[in-house]
């Protein structure tokens, strides 16, 4: 029972809501370094996965939308990762470079 987290307190209310304190913190794009990884499925489909994102979900969703719109491709933002469909590593790197966001390829 000592391993469980406190989720309610009569003084301050629901404690689960306090876990997202940095959710809307401003993002300093010059301090970011995003990791790009190329993933393939068994059927040969390719996805570019972007990790190392800040905890600001609104900023991440906006970046994902801008990236997909500028490249004209599909993708999603979930689990603090951005996934971009297709073999578009060079275009994603160019997009992030244009926005002055540091990025690097990781993996094989």
CATH number for the domain running over 22-105: 3.30.780.10
Buried/exposed code over 30-48 (b: 16+ C-beta within 10 A; e: otherwise): eebebebebeeeeeeeebb
Instruction: List pLDDT tens digits, range 70-104.
Output: 999 999 999 999 999 999 999 999 999 999 999 99
pLDDT value at position 71?
94
**Do the beta carbons of residue 84 and residue 91 sit within 8 Å?**
no
pTM, two decimal places = 0.76
């Amino acid at each position: 029972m000592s391993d469980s987290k406190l989720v309610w307190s009569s003084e301050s209310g629901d404690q689960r809501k306090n876990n997202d304190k940095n959710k809307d913190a401003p993002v300093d794009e010059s301090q970011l370094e995003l990791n790009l990884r190329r993933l393939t499925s068994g059927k040969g489909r390719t996805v570019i996965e972007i990790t190392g994102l800040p905890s600001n979900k609104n900023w991440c969703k906006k970046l994902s939308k801008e990236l997909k719109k500028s490249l004209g491709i599909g993708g999603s933002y979930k689990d603090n990762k951005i996934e971009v469909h297709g073999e578009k590593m060079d275009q994603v790197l160019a997009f992030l470079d244009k926005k002055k966001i540091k990025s690097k390829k990781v993996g094989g």
